Every structure is written in C-alpha cells, then in structure tokens.
Amino acid sequence: MKKETIMDYYRGELKRIAWKIQYKARVTSKHELPLKSENVSRAANFQNEVDRKLYVEYLINSIPTDIGRKIIFEIYINEKTEVQVAKELNISQQGVNQWKRKTLKYLCQKMSS
C-alpha cells in the first residue's frame, strides 16, 4: 500500500514538472518572433556589405515611432543593453523590452511583405 502511494506521489510530481516545462516553452515561443527562411535567403543574397547596411538603414527609418526607432538603433546597432537605453530614455527596462518586441514584430511584418 505504501509503495503505491509513493509511486503515485512521484508520478504526480513528474506530471507537474512536465507541465511547467511545457508551459514555459509555450510562453517563450509565443514571445519570440519567428524567423522566416525566405527573409534569411533574401538577406543572404545581398552582394556586399553596403547593400546590407543600406537595407538595415531603410528598415530602421521605416519604423513609424521615434522611440521605437531609437530603441532598435541603440540596442542592435550601438549594442547597448535594455537597461542602458531605459536610463537614457528615462523609462523602465520593461518598457524598453515592450517597445523592442513591438517594433521587431513590425519589422518582421515589413520584411515579409
């Protein structure tokens, strides 16, 4: 009798752990932007560095909001952290993260159209 309850207890614990892992994976995949292979192949076909830089500049300039443009530029071009950008813009790090995700989603849609 006692052996069955121990087995049931550990079986339940394993189910809870598995559920937490699956939940975390779903949340993470929902927040990440999918990278479409056609965008990668299009970007890989550029003939030289100048074309890539011009394309990146075009994409950054196409961002409709000044704050989104500044955040993307500082994080990805100037390689600053979200915390550094947040201090410069006098907003929270979470705010910078939300702006970054929203702007990256916009850029992903722009690149796929």
Q: What pLDDT is attached to residue 67?
A: 92
Domain spans, the chain? 59-112
111: amino acid identity, one letter: M
- Give dist(CA 113, CA 95) in Å, integer: 27
Q: What pLDDT is attached to residue 39?
A: 52
Q: What is the pLDDT along the chain (113 residues), one digit of tens a residue?
A: 466 677 778 778 888 888 888 877 777 766 655 555 555 555 555 466 777 778 888 888 888 999 999 998 898 888 888 899 999 999 999 999 999 999 988 888 887 77
Quick one: DSSP state of residue 45? T
Q: Is 90 left (phi over 0), alpha (psi -120 to 50) or beta?
A: left
Domain 59-112 class, CATH top level = mainly alpha
